[in-house]
Amino acid sequence: MMQLSTQSSAARSQHFGAPIPPLASPPDRPHDAMHALDEFGSVISVRKNAEIWAQGDSVQYSYRIVSGCIRLVKLMEDGRRQISEFLVAGDWLGFDGATIQDVAAEAVADSVLKRYPRRAVDALASRDISVAQWRFELMSQKLYLAQEHMLTLGRRTAEERIAAFLLDMAARTPRDRSGMSPLPMNRTDIADYLGLRLETICRVLSRLKRAGAIRVAPSGFSIRDRDALEVCASDTLH
Amino acid sequence: MMQLSTQSSAARSQHFGAPIPPLASPPDRPHDAMHALDEFGSVISVRKNAEIWAQGDSVQYSYRIVSGCIRLVKLMEDGRRQISEFLVAGDWLGFDGATIQDVAAEAVADSVLKRYPRRAVDALASRDISVAQWRFELMSQKLYLAQEHMLTLGRRTAEERIAAFLLDMAARTPRDRSGMSPLPMNRTDIADYLGLRLETICRVLSRLKRAGAIRVAPSGFSIRDRDALEVCASDTLH
DNA sequence: CGAAGTGTTGAGGCGTCTCAATTGATGTGG
DNA sequence: CCACATCAATTGAGACGCCTCAACACTTCG
């Protein structure tokens, strides 16, 4: 680091997007200090496609997902849509420091959330330094994921995006008894997350199915040939 | 907010990507508490294309840009490159909570930075709650920008990306006496930021120039017809 | 069983990419 | 200060990946 007059071509050939552990202490695992938050929490249920908050709402609550799946959605006037993140059981949302929501949150499927008044979270964070630290690391983690996703949206092919997406979803959610990972979102959602069209999602899924890499059922999938899928998702393509 | 059983089609037509003020107190304006950091800072200079840190480095310092321009770069094994952010004078970098850098930082042009040991920043943040708060809002701001950029990479056309990029750069940097905004990065960098190829950047710039929307000179540009450029950049296209 | 939503597949079009040639800018040494 | 080398920017022609539009199959639920 800190070399003067390095050539850009040299800089290009140093380190790659290798699996770097994002954080020393992943904020997915709730910090002990967050237990203090529990006393302010209330459980709410949202139905499929319900809006938890809209773009432009003032920020009132932070949430933790107990079960289900949530999408964060940015919308353009002409209907173009970008999903910046899918959130599943155990994930936190609405913890950023803005006073106005700049991305809507909607339920992909019927979901149960734990809801914490924002005031209480803020008060706790300004009283307890470890809560502030935890919240900060949570944001860092989100930023890391966002940077990774920018690479996906800017530079990966449709096949790479979808293969990586399936591997990611399989890793984040538990399989049922028959080895199936849930896939609660529909093709349009996947398309709006990966910057593609739903027909492209279909076509690539069919191709992966035909190649024997995956098995697809309504609202679920399983990985039959992980190596093949990882080759598709890999940086090393072409 | 918090409506049960909203239809997804209904959710689609509520609020748009209107210019929402990202944060109540923008962290670009250094918080008073950050003055406490100054005593730990040292000034360093980096040459064009020098690496400030590499992907995979352990995190040692945080920085503030005094002058120049920095790019944050994610690299794939086969050379594909995504620039997640350009940083200019006044911007902060390296404040996230990771212990390992997952995005490299390189100088786009000769630059001067103020450098703060990470230990000192962390110590200050755990001692002074307002520093922790400031650092948290800085991360929130970055996440907001990342979400905006994901929409750009996933859903906007080449012309929209480039028009919006020019408007953004013009807003973030001061014009010289002849009304020119600097454009320190080359076409490849712009392409890797916008998820396009350098030839596409050239073609669209030429088209905007021919349409009388902009003027382009080596290492600078000026906006001749802001309205036309905003129409190109707008959500309202098509 | 029918209706409405969701997923799949095909044919053709378009926007961006690829490859290649040329022009223009920058820097160096004679 | 000019000739040359090097690198960045521009422009063109053709290819390709993903999109668009459209038809049809499947799933879910009244």
What span, in angstroms and rounded, lies between the C-alpha atoms of B203 and B51? 30
pLDDT of the residue at A235: 62
A-chain CB neighbours of B46 within 8 Å are: 2, 4
The DSSP symbol for A222 reads: E
pLDDT in tens, B80-97: 999 999 999 999 999 999
Q: pLDDT category, A19, cuts 50, 70, 90?
A: very low
Mean pLDDT, chain A, integer: 88
Mean of the pLDDT values across residues A10-19? Answer: 43
The DSSP symbol for B89 reads: T
What span, in angstroms and rounded, lies between the C-alpha atoms of B52 and B63? 10
Q: Is the pLDDT of residue A3 over 80?
A: no
Give CATH for domain A31-150.
2.60.120.10
Is the CB of A186 within 7 Å of strand C?
Answer: yes
List, in sequence order, the alpha helices (H) in A3-128.
Answer: 8-12, 35-38, 118-127
Give CATH for domain B9-20+156-234.
1.10.10.10
What span, in angstroms and rounded, lies between the C-alpha atoms of A138 and A96? 9
Q: pLDDT category, A36, cuts 50, 70, 90?
A: confident
pLDDT of the residue at A138: 96
% of chain B exceeding 90 in pLDDT = 79
Angle A217-A223-A229 from CA coordinates, rounded to 5°: 125
Mean pLDDT, chain B, integer: 88
pLDDT in tens, A88-110: 999 999 999 999 999 999 999 99
pLDDT of the residue at B219: 80
Q: Is the pLDDT of residue A224 over 90?
A: yes
Nearest to A129 among B1, B11, B129 (CB): B129
* Lowest mean pLDDT, pick from A1-15, A64-78, A218-232, B194-208: A1-15
pLDDT of the residue at A113: 97
Contact B190, B83 (CB under 8 A): no
pLDDT of the residue at A12: 40
pLDDT of the residue at A223: 96
Q: Which helix (H) or strand (E) element contains residue A113?
A: strand A111-117
Contact A106, A65 (CB under 8 A): no
Give me the A residues in range 4-43 that sit within 7 A (CB) of strand D: 8
What span, in angstroms and rounded, lies between the C-alpha atoms of B54 and A59? 36
Q: Is the pLDDT of residue B31 over 90?
A: no
Distance in Å, residue B107 CA to nucleotide C23 C1': 28
pLDDT of the residue at B32: 66
What span, in angstroms and rounded, lies between the C-alpha atoms of B152 and B165? 10
Q: pLDDT category, A218, cuts 50, 70, 90?
A: confident
Q: pLDDT category, A32, cuts 50, 70, 90?
A: low
pLDDT in tens, A150-201: 999 999 999 999 999 999 999 999 999 889 999 999 999 999 999 999 999 9
Give me the A residues in range 89-108 that sit within 7 A (CB) of strand D: none
**Token pair of A27 as six digits:** 């904020």
Between B7 and B87, residue with greater pLDDT:
B87
**For chain B, domain boundaries:** 9-20+156-234, 31-150
B-chain CB neighbours of A99 within 8 Å are: 23-24
Q: Tell me, what amino acid is at A7?
A: Q
Q: Is the pLDDT of residue A33 over 60?
A: yes
Q: Is the pLDDT of residue B51 over 60?
A: yes
pLDDT of the residue at A37: 84
